[in-house]
Structures are given as structure tokens and as C-alpha cells.
Amino acid sequence: MMDKVDKTDKPQIKGWCPGAWRPMATGDGLLVRVRPRLGRLTRGQMLALCAAAETYGSGLIELTSRANLQLRGVSDASWPGLMEALVEQGLVDPDPQVERRPQRLLAPDWQAGDATHETACLLEARLNELPALPDKMGIAIDAGEAPRLGDVSADLRIERAASGGLQARASGNLQARALGGLLVRADGRALGTPVDSPAAAVEELIRLAHWFVASGGREAGRMRRHTAPLPPWAPAVTPPAEPGARLALGEHARGRVVGLAFGRASAAALRAAVAPDSVSAVRVTPWRRLLLEGEGASGAAIAGLLDDDRDPRLAMQACPGAPHCEQASVETLALAERLSGRVAGSVHVSGCAKGCACQQPTDLCLTGRNGRFDLIKGGRADGVPLATGLTESDVIEHLEKNSDALRL
Ligand code: SF4
């Protein structure tokens, strides 16, 4: 029986690392982030999330670089209703403290009973043994044949060791011996500590988390920045296996992988993706890709979703802009579409100087102001513009005339 969300509840708005119980206030309302358990939503949960995005938010659903799903454009007034729906669907835990625990990110192609799945389940059962860690800290569980999450933000990693690691020889597990065993690696260190089972990996990870806190890691905030030498019981001696590729768009052994332009899709497009009864679930990835599970996932292209790995929109940044965000005086997505494939470097199209979609400088940034665009080169959305007051056509024309660094 879920807890009722009090309609008079006010969201606890924080300016960093938002969740569902602690949404972030942005220019287009509250941003509510959902962390699917084991990185997987059932078809019913996905449909419910689509309905919630349309009922309580802007109707857009975003997929983050840590494989979370987020809804934007939620108002203070609609947040309690949204939370009630999310809790009822099992997309958010009724206990707000649960989402304070470090995020767990799983290699998305895990199978029931394999090392990634087993390790993740063992860790779920012991989460309350972890110390309180800084908000942004995360755990990558990446124990498939080849680690896939090495370039994804995480602080503690459980990975497959290079074949022939110490633990592979010690392990009685035939699969582990064939693949190489497991290791636990503190982010920022090239080598990890070999362990001989998923249970031992979880034990070692919990110990390392306590060491992080006891050795002053909270001040550093992230494991990578914490330069204290590792304790003698966690020797960094074993390299991870050679990294594997991210999931390719298209057919997959468990269904089909689809891409999200600019890391975002409409609820309508995602509803269409899971419409066939034979699509049983959706797995999230940190690469703007969703894995649709089930035979019914294969087939014709789905409007609003990508199926070509070379599509530049998989890498471009664009905030929702007008009409989705009240702060925007321009439409961002139309210009982003026009620029797709026509610019050699990184691109960010922002509805205003807040730059919600990207806080890093990009080769080309276009920022909306008073219904026109400012053009910034090598900067952020709030950077000093090279040209101002541009319409969409002016932007294209400007780039054509100044194509030194831009392929047009
Ligand atoms: S950057 Fe985009 S989403 Fe953020 S407040 Fe401005 S217009 Fe809205």
C-alpha cells in the first residue's frame, strides 16, 4: 500500500542532483527525475510515465547521461499529483530517503541471473549499509563480458577484470573463469581490486564507500578527486577487461535499440514504441538510447525516434525551448534540426541564457533572446556573442559566410 502524497506538500527544491522527491527548479518549472530500478521499466510503467508527462509536465521525456528519465515543466501545484502517480506505478519509492542513496547504473544488456544482475540485486539488498555519500556519487555495475560504462560518470565500479586476473584463477565459477573475474575499482584509478564473486564485490564496494568517508572523501565530493591512497585491503592491481561498445541502434538480441534526438522524445513517440503487446519492457542507457525488450520491438521506424547511429542529433544539445518553456522566446528544436549534420563541432541551441541543456562550452552555441538568437563560438549559453539578433535564416546565412570551422 503506497503512502499518499499530501496535496499540500511542497517539493523540496534543490539546485543540484534532482530526484523526484527533490525536484530541481528550472526555467520551465520543476524537473522531476525518475531512476528506474535496475535500469528497467515494464511496458506498463513506461505507458504510465508517458501519461504522467502529458498530464503533469510538458509532454517531453528526457534521458540523462546517467540513464535517468526526467519530466520537465511540472508546476508546484501539479507535483503532488505526479508523485502520487509515480509512487503508485513503482517508479518512485514512497520513502523519500531511498532516492538519497547513491545512484546505481547497470550495463543495460544484463540478463536475469548474470553477474551484473546478481551483483545489482545483492547490492540493492544491502543499500542501507552504505554510508551517507555526497549527492552526485554513483555506482556502476558493469560485469558483462566487456565493460561498457567506463566513460559514464560513476565513483565506484564493479567490472569484469581482464582475462587471467587473480580472481579468475581462484574462482570456481566457470563463466567467471572463462571471462575473467570481477573487480571493484575506485573511479580515477586505472586498476581495481580483484574479487571472487558478486557477493564479494558488493562487500568490497561497501567497505570502500566507508573508507571514502572515513578518509575525508566528502570534502573532495567525488572519488576521482579524492587522492588519498587506497587502503591496503583494496589493492589496485588488476585492469578491467577491454571496453565494449555502447549498444548500437537497431536490432538487438533482446529486441531493438532506439535513439532519442537531443536526448529527448515526446510521450507520444515513446508510447508508440511500446504499443505492441509483445514489447515487454524498456531499458534505459546513458547514451540517449533505449532498449525495447521483446520480439514486437523490431520492425518499422518509429516516428520521433532515431534508428541510425550516425545521426548527429544523438550528440547535439538543445533545451526544450518554446513553446515548452515559458522562459524561451524562441523555438530551439526547429533550429537544432536545421543545423543537424551541417556543423562539424559540438552544437548547443538554448532557449535562453540559462543553458539548461548544457553547462559546458560548445563549438557553436545559439542562445535565444527577445525572439532572436545570439551566436556564441566556443562558449556557453551565457557567453559573449559574436553576432546578435539573428533569425533562424540569419543563423544559417552567418554560418555559410563564416564556414572556417563549420562544415556547411
Ligand atoms: S535554457 Fe531552455 S529550458 Fe532552460 S530556462 Fe531557458 S528556455 Fe527554458
Contact 329, 350 (CB under 8 A): no
Give the closest residue (by CA) to ligand 1 atom 5. Answer: 27
Distance CA 389, CA 15 (A): 31
Instruction: Map out the domains of the chain with their CATH numbers.
Output: 1-94+261-306 (3.90.480.10), 110-225 (no CATH), 316-401 (3.30.413.10)
Give the closest residue (by CA) to ligand 1 atom 4. Answer: 356
Q: Which of 379, 282, 369, 385 is nearest to 329 (CA)?
A: 369
More confident residue, 333 or 18: 333
Section 313-340 average pLDDT: 92
Distance linking the first and last C-alpha atoms of the chain: 58
pLDDT of residue 128: 94
Ligand 1 centroid – CA 373 distance (Å): 13
Section 338-343 average pLDDT: 91
Give the closest residue (by CA) to ligand 1 atom 6. Answer: 352
Ligand 1 centroid – CA 318 distance (Å): 9
pLDDT of residue 121: 98
Nearest atom in ligand 1 to 26's CA: 5
pLDDT of residue 54: 97
pLDDT of residue 258: 96
Q: 327, 331, 382: which to mutate for ligand 1, most atoms within 8 A of CB?
A: 327
pLDDT of residue 13: 47
pLDDT of residue 168: 42
Confidence band of 297 (pLDDT split at 50, 70, 90): low
Ligand 1 centroid – CA 40 distance (Å): 29
pLDDT of residue 6: 54
pLDDT of residue 407: 53
Q: By mean pLDDT, which of 44-53, 83-92, 398-407 is the weakest?
A: 398-407
Section 301-328 average pLDDT: 92
More confident residue, 320 or 234: 234
pLDDT of residue 393: 94
Q: Which residues of 240-269 are buried (b: 16+ CB within 10 A; e: fewer)?
A: bbeebebbebeebebbbbbbbbbbbbbbeb
pLDDT exceeds 90 at position 373: yes
pLDDT of residue 164: 47
Phi, psi (degrees; rounded to nearest 5) at 368: -75, 140
Nearest atom in ligand 1 to 355's CA: 1
How far, in Å, are 244, 261, 289, 327, 334 from residue 323 at the CA level?
Answer: 40, 18, 25, 9, 11
Ligand 1 centroid – CA 355 distance (Å): 6
pLDDT exceeds 60 at position 8: no
Confidence band of 329 (pLDDT split at 50, 70, 90): very high
pLDDT of residue 399: 87
Ligand 1 centroid – CA 260 distance (Å): 19
Ligand 1 centroid – CA 14 distance (Å): 17
Phi, psi (degrees; rounded to nearest 5) at 93: -75, 140
pLDDT of residue 296: 65
pLDDT of residue 33: 96
For 107-155, list the strands marked E by DSSP: 138-142
Q: Which residues line ligand 1 (CB under 6 A)?
A: 26-28, 319-321, 325, 327-328, 350-352, 354-356
Q: Compute how many other C-beta atoms are within 10 angstroms of the C-beta atom of residue 369.
A: 17
14-23 pLDDT tens trace: 445 789 999 9
Give the closest residue (by CA) to ligand 1 atom 2. Answer: 351
| Residue 91, C-beta contacts closer than 8 angstroms, at least 6 positions apart | 20, 34, 36, 41, 45, 48, 49
